[in-house]
Amino acid sequence: MSTDLDALLGSADPPLIVVTTAAEGERAGCLVGFHSQASIGPQRYCFWLSKANHTYRVALRSESFAVHFLTTTDRELARHFGSLSGSETDKFAGLDITVTEAGVPLIADLPNRITVERIAMLDDGGDHVCTTARVLAAESAGDFTPLRPSHVADLSPGHSSDERAVRP
């Protein structure tokens, strides 16, 4: 079954985003493939963070997030946010960023983005946790061609999903 599932999802090749957040002055962000608009009226957006990731640990203490949409010109930023971990390095050092009132980093080179406020987190026992959020604001720099996993197939994630802490 997993071979067929892998084939189906590989063909779907969903657009990639970078989710950023901050809590108590600690900034975090990672590359995310699991995400979707989840309601039209009211406007809702969902994304799933891996329990293995530094971004997830910061997200547990944050209610504010930015969702940056990647284009085919953003391979290097995808590599940066998808293969490094905030538990070892400050991913925002050297990047041109501004911060929202809530302290969430906005990446200047990724101008297609939304800011959101968490409504709930759903942990269904899988290796990723769903954050469902209300859309506060959206900024668009115009039409773009999304960056997809097939464009960065050689990228190894900073944390694999099976690295999460498990109950003893």
**Chain contacts with ligand FMN (rule: CB under 6 A):** 28, 30-34, 48-50, 53-55, 82-87, 128, 149, 152, 155, 157-159
Shortest Cβ contact with ligand FMN: which residue? 158
Shortest distance, position 147 Cβ to ligand FMN, whole Å: 9
Closer residue to ligand FMN (CB): 23 or 41: 23
- Kindly tell me which of 142 and 160 has the beta carbon lying closer to ligand FMN: 160
Residue 88 in tokens: 């070892």
C-beta of 19 vs 112, nearer to ligand FMN: 19
3-state secondary structure labels for all residues of the chain: CHHHHHHHHHHHCCCCEEEEEEECCEEEEEEECCEEEEECCCCEEEEEEECCCHHHHHHCCCCEEEEEECECCCHHHHHHHHHCCCCCCCCCCCCCEEECCCCCEEECCCCCEEEEEEEEEECCCCCEEEEEEEEEEEECCCCCCECCHHHHCCCCCCCCHHHCCCCC
Q: Smallest gap, in angstroms, from Cβ of residue 41 to ligand FMN?
A: 26
The 10 Å Cβ neighbour count of residue 141 is 11
Please say whether the dihedral angle defined by the alpha carbons of residues 86, 141, 62 and 130, taken in this order, is positive or negative. Answer: negative
- Tokens read off for 147: 């960056």
Give whichever of 39 and 89 is closer to ligand FMN, judged by the CB atom. Answer: 89
In the complex with ligand FMN, the residue whose CB is nearer, 114 or 152, is 152
Shortest Å, Cβ 84 to ligand FMN: 6
CB of 137 to ligand FMN, least distance (A): 22
The least distance separating ligand FMN from the CB of residue 9, rounded to whole angstroms, comes to 11
